[in-house]
């Protein structure tokens, strides 16, 4: 281990992902960079290789001027991958058809372009290790995943493959669904599951099985599926849970809390004197969403944020369908029905 550690410390790490934005993946990459700095306090060097990025991404703001960022247009993921993404997951391919015949060549051409660009970065930055985030768990860009596999295998580059979620979590072959089972948010990845020549590539790459690759999952269930159902070597599978930076949180005095709640009242009231509360199903909600304005959905029209009357629960994700925010209410109901928790709340009130 000491010789391997020395080998890594004499080079740099490449953090690779489809894109950096105001999201969980970017936040976790920031945590991983901090962790590696602690492991290699005197020699840590790194770069970011992404298909696309938002200047507001926290990791970019924090690492500005410290870590170089390389943007490879062909490496953008999901909808930003463009035509291959649409053809693979939202178009029923027909054997012998025009798209069927052209798609493999297009993916391969993009992969070669990515390989060439990453090779230049490897030489410039002296990269000794790839740290991938979701690149080999969700097939958002087969060209990028294929490129990282080829580079790691040919040059013997160790890979830490961090999996936040897999395409089969919330996705399933429609033929395997029960009649009463609702469609999953990742069902589109199975659009051409009947074409083995295409879907077998997804099965092979997500995730890639190799002695150079360590699979790092966020929970034990994912690891269990990889080892027991997908046949990966347990020695190459581990977990690092997602984390919250507790340094950002601190206890507030009652006066400080009053100020926070006062600001919340201003934020949600806009030009009105009091916050406007929408009932579930109100047609105005869609307008507020499109306008990207903060709004409140509640069971009553009148509401005032104040420390004695309002509990705040923070949801650290975007409010999108696949995050299943509605499950929070089940958790809250169970908490509020718990005697010990209710007692704790009354003591803190």
* Ordered per-residue pLDDT tens for the chain, 349 residues: 788 888 888 899 999 999 998 888 888 899 899 999 999 988 899 999 999 998 888 888 888 889 999 999 999 999 999 999 999 999 999 999 999 999 999 999 999 999 999 999 999 999 999 999 999 999 999 999 999 999 999 999 999 999 988 999 888 888 888 888 888 889 999 999 999 999 999 999 999 999 999 999 988 999 999 999 999 999 999 998 777 777 777 778 888 888 888 888 787 776 666 777 888 888 888 887 787 777 888 877 666 677 677 777 877 777 766 677 888 889 888 988 998 988 887 776 6
Q: Which two tokens stand for residue 153?
A: 């295998």
Q: Which residue has the tokens 């960079």?
A: 33
**Angstrom distance (rounded) from CA 25 to CA 32:** 10
What is the pLDDT at residue 57? 87
Summarize pLDDT for 80-136 with one digit per residue, the tens: 999 999 999 999 999 999 999 999 999 999 999 999 999 999 999 999 999 999 999
243-265 CB burial, b ≥16 within 10 A, e <16: eeeeeeeeeeeeeeeeeebeebe
β-bridge mates for residue 66, sequence order: none
Decide the pairing of beta strands 69-71 and 127-133: unpaired
**Angstrom distance (rounded) from CA 237 to CA 266:** 48
What is the pLDDT at residue 223? 93
What is the pLDDT at residue 132? 96
Residue pair 239/223 in contact by the 8 Å Cβ criterion: yes
**Angstrom distance (rounded) from CA 103 to CA 143:** 11
Residue pair 268/288 in contact by the 8 Å Cβ criterion: no
What is the pLDDT at residue 325? 81
């Amino acid at each position: 281990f000491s010789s391997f550690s020395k080998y890594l410390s004499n080079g740099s790490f490449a953090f690779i992902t489809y894109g950096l934005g105001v999201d969980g993946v970017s936040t976790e990459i920031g945590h991983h960079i901090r962790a590696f700095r602690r492991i290699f306090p005197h020699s840590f060097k790194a770069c970011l290789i992404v298909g696309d990025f938002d200047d507001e991404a926290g990791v970019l703001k924090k690492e500005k001027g410290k870590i170089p960022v390389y943007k490879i247009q062909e490496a953008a993921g999901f909808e930003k991958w463009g035509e291959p993404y649409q053809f693979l997951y939202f178009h029923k391919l027909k054997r012998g058809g025009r798209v069927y015949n052209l798609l493999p060549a297009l993916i391969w051409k993009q992969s070669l372009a990515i390989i060439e660009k990453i090779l230049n970065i490897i030489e410039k930055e002296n990269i000794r290790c790839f740290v991938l985030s979701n690149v080999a768990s969700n097939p958002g860009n087969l060209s990028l995943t294929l490129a990282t596999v080829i580079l790691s295998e040919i040059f013997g580059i160790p890979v830490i493959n961090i999996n936040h979620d897999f395409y089969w979590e919330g996705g399933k072959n429609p033929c395997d669904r029960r009649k009463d089972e609702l469609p999953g948010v990742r069902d589109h990845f199975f659009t051409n599951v009947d074409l083995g020549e295409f879907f077998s590539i997804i099965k092979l790459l997500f995730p890639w099985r190799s002695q150079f690759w360590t699979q790092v999952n966020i929970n034990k269930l994912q690891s269990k599926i990889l080892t027991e159902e997908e046949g990966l070597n347990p020695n190459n599978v581990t977990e690092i849970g997602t984390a919250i930076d507790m340094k950002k949180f601190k206890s507030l005095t009652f006066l400080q809390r009053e100020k926070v709640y006062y600001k919340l009242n201003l934020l949600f009231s806009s030009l009105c004197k009091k916050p406007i509360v929408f009932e579930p199903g109100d047609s105005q909600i869609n307008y507020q969403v499109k306008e990207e304005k903060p709004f409140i959905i509640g069971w009553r029209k009148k509401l005032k944020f104040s420390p004695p009357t309002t509990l705040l629960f923070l949801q650290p994700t975007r409010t999108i369908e696949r995050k299943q925010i509605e499950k929070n209410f089940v958790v809250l109901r169970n908490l509020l029905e718990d005697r010990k928790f209710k007692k704790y709340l009354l003591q803190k009130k």
